[in-house]
Amino acid sequence: MTVAMPVLEEGELSTDRISELYDEIRELARTRNAVILAHNYQRPEVQDIADYVGDSLGLSRQAMATEADVIAFCGVHFMAETASILSPEQRVLLPDLRAGCSLAASITAEDVRRWRAEFPDHVAVGYVNTTAEVKAELDYCCTSGNVVAIIDAIPEDRGILFLPDFFLGAHIKRLRPHREVEVWMGECHVHKEINARTVNAQRCEHPGAEVLVHPECGCAGQLIYEAGLGDLDAKLVHVTSTEGMIRFAESSPASTFIVATEVGILHRLKKQLPDKEFLPADPRAVCQYMKAITLEGLRDSLLYDRHVITVPEDIRTRAKAAIDRMVSIG
């Protein structure tokens, strides 16, 4: 499925403009008692003003724990919805409604109902990159950071419907070949384009580099296949969530890493580990939805109280049950 992509103005902000906007945003956040949460793919200047930067799982946990009155969510729509599901008392603001997600748009609640009717005894597990309506139809929610723990918590004799990401589903099938897993054919338009050819071109230039691969990538299966054939040292390939990449790079003795995911994460990696080198597997891997959030947008969101993200109560309680089951496992 294709969804309309925001057309983005690429203008760089000057350092003076950034610090002016920071002053305004900090003052607004103080007066409104707001916490600013940002995903690892956000623009560098947005990450740098956030109170917390992390992956989908970390952001959900922060949203659940916060005592702030307002959550200014610098991420995409389904993430802000998840924050609203977990923290209905808080006012959740998404600075730009163009911040959608091609993967979340690949399945509807009606699709899930039809699929479940075909496999009535299967357990439905859905990636957090889904709308609230879709989450309301699930047994379990999961993220790239905890998907294996969730699958392992489901009794071995139960079949699983995994949605919506085809590549993450294929990754689960590789890791747990004995499980019966049906996989939805959804994909992220950014990650599917990160292919083994581009990653291999980088590997040729940096032969000793560790390769960090997000499981949504089109290349994940190919690289693991090559490792299986012995064409690539399996120890150098690590398939993990965005937060998993940061933890891995922190603890690894290696000094160079090829990073196969959206390029926004390079800012955090370089900032947190300035003595190591991080190279994008594909510099074109930019998520326009994530980049729809700008400092001006964040400032206006706090100033004009927009755009408030809410979820109807009946959907919220059903979606929360799937998220709660996830959080109780990992």
Give the footprint of ligand 13P on this chain (CB under 6 A).
Answer: 40, 55-56, 129, 143-145, 188, 216, 241-242
Residue corresponding to tokens 């299967």: 122
Q: 210 vs 216, which CB is nearer to ligand 13P?
A: 216
Rule CB under 6 A: say whether 289 interacts with ligand SF4: yes
Provide the token pair at 215: 């499981």
- Answer with the entry of ligand SF4, ligand 13P, none that 102 interacts with (C-beta below 5 to 8 A by kind): ligand SF4
Q: 84 vs 143, which CB is nearer to ligand SF4?
A: 143
Rule CB under 6 A: say whether 129 interacts with ligand SF4: yes
Binding-residue total with ligand SF4 (CB under 6 A): 13
Alpha carbons 131 and 172: distance in angstroms, whole number: 22
Question: Measured in whole angstroms, how far is the alpha carbon of residue 11 from the centre of its chain?
Answer: 25
Residue corresponding to tokens 């995409």: 76
Closest CA to 185 of 208, 169, 197, 201: 169
Closest CA to 124 of 159, 153, 176: 159
User: How far apart are CB 22 and ligand SF4 at their closest, in Å?
Assistant: 25
- Answer with the entry of ligand 13P, ligand SF4, none that 172 interacts with (C-beta below 5 to 8 A by kind): none
Rule CB under 6 A: say whether 293 interacts with ligand SF4: no
Is residue 30 within 8 Å of residue 68, measured between CB atoms? no
Question: Measured in whole angstroms, how far is the alpha carbon of residue 156 from the centre of its chain?
Answer: 28
Torsion of CA 271, 275, 280, 283, to 10 degrees: 60
Provide the token pair at 97: 């409604």
User: How far apart are CB 261 and ligand SF4 at their closest, in Å?
Assistant: 8
Rule CB under 6 A: say whether 53 interacts with ligand SF4: no
Beta bridge partners of 75: none
Provide the token pair at 89: 């008392």
- Answer with the entry of ligand SF4, ligand 13P, none that 289 interacts with (C-beta below 5 to 8 A by kind): ligand SF4
Binding string, 80-119, against ligand SF4, x = CB under 6 A? ---------------------xxx----------------
Q: Which of 28, 265, 287, 326 binds ligand SF4 (CB under 6 A)?
A: 287
User: How far apart are CB 118 and ligand 13P at their closest, in Å?
Assistant: 27
Residue corresponding to tokens 């326009």: 288
User: How far apart are CB 226 and ligand 13P at their closest, in Å?
Assistant: 23
Q: Which contacts (CB < 8 Å, 24+ apart) does range 45-48 have?
A: 45/13, 45/18, 45/295, 46/74, 46/293, 46/294, 46/295, 46/298, 47/264, 47/267, 47/268
Q: 28 vs 50, which CB is nearer to ligand 13P?
A: 50
Q: Which residues would be at the binding site for ligand SF4 (CB under 6 A)?
A: 76, 101-103, 129, 188-191, 262, 287, 289-290
